[in-house]
Chain A
Amino acid sequence: NAGVTQTPKFRVLKTGQSMTLLCAQDMNHEYMYWYRQDPGMGLRLIHYSVGEGTTAKGEVPDGYNVSRLKKQNFLLGLESAAPSQTSVYFCASSNGLAGRGETQYFGPGTRLLVL
C-alpha cells in the first residue's frame, strides 16, 4: 500500500515549456486535490476532483489544467510554464468530502523550478 505517490519528484522547466505532474493513489479514494506550497503562504488549493471524470477549480487555478480520467490518477498540467509557478506541488486524496472533516492523505511533493 503505497498511499499517494507523485511523479516526478523534481523538475526544471524553461519559461513557456509544458509539463504534466502525475498523482496516483491506491486507497480507492473518491476525492483528489492539487495544492501548491510557497514560502510564507502555506498551501493553496489549485484544483480538485470529487470523482472520476470530474474536476473543479480551487483558490488559485489560473495557468493550470487537470484531468481525472481514472479514479486512481489525478493529473496537473502546465501548458506554458511561468516563473511564478515555481513552487512545491502536493497532491492529496480523501475518502469523503474534505470540507466535511475527512482526512486528506498527502503525497511527498514535486519541486518545480521555472527559469
Chain B
Amino acid sequence: AQSVTQLGSHVSVSEGALVLLRCNYSSSVPPYLFWYVQYPNQGLQLLLKYTTGATLVKGINGFEAEFKKSETSFHLTKPSAHMSDAAEYFCAVSEFGNQFYFGTGTSLTVIP
C-alpha cells in the first residue's frame, strides 16, 4: 500500500513570502500525485495534479509542484503567499487503482 508523508502539520509564513509544503510518498512505480486544498468548513478542491509528462506542474492560484522521482517527492510551492492562501493542504497519491491515499494535511497560516 501507498503511504504519503506531509512534513509539518502546521506551517506559518509571512504575507509575500515563499510557501513550501512538503510531500513524500512511497511507491515502487510512478504514481499519480495530487494536491488538494480545503478552506474552512468546505470540501476539498483540486490545486494541481501530476499524471504523466512534464514534472513541473502548475496549478490554480499561482501554486506549482515538481515531481522528483529520485526523491519520491512532490512538494508544493508558491512564490508569494497571500492571505487568501490560508487553508489546509492535502497531498494524495494513487497507483493504478481506485484507492486514494491522502496525507495527514498541512495547515497553512499566513501572517500579515
Residues of chain B contacted by A56 (CB below 8 angstroms): 98
With an 8 Å Cβ cutoff, the count of chain B residues facing the other chain is 24
Complex alpha-carbon distance, A58 and B51, angstroms: 22
Say which residue of B45, B90, B96, B105 sits within 8 Å of A99 (CB atoms).
B96
Interface residue tally on A, bucketed by range: 20 to 34
| Beta-carbon contact of B43 and A45 below 8 Å | no
| Beta-carbon contact of A40 and B96 below 8 Å | no
Q: Which of B1-51 contact A (CB under 8 A)?
A: 4, 9, 32, 36, 41-46, 49, 51
| Beta-carbon contact of B45 and A100 below 8 Å | no
| Beta-carbon contact of B99 and A101 below 8 Å | no
Complex alpha-carbon distance, A105 and B94, angstroms: 16
Residues of chain B contacted by A31 (CB below 8 angstroms): 98
B residues whose Cβ falls under 8 Å from a Cβ of A = 4, 9, 32, 36, 41-46, 49, 51, 90, 94-100, 102-105
Q: 11 interchain pairs (CB within 8 A)?
A: A42-B103, A43-B100, A45-B100, A50-B98, A58-B98, A99-B94, A101-B51, A104-B100, A106-B43, A106-B45, A109-B43
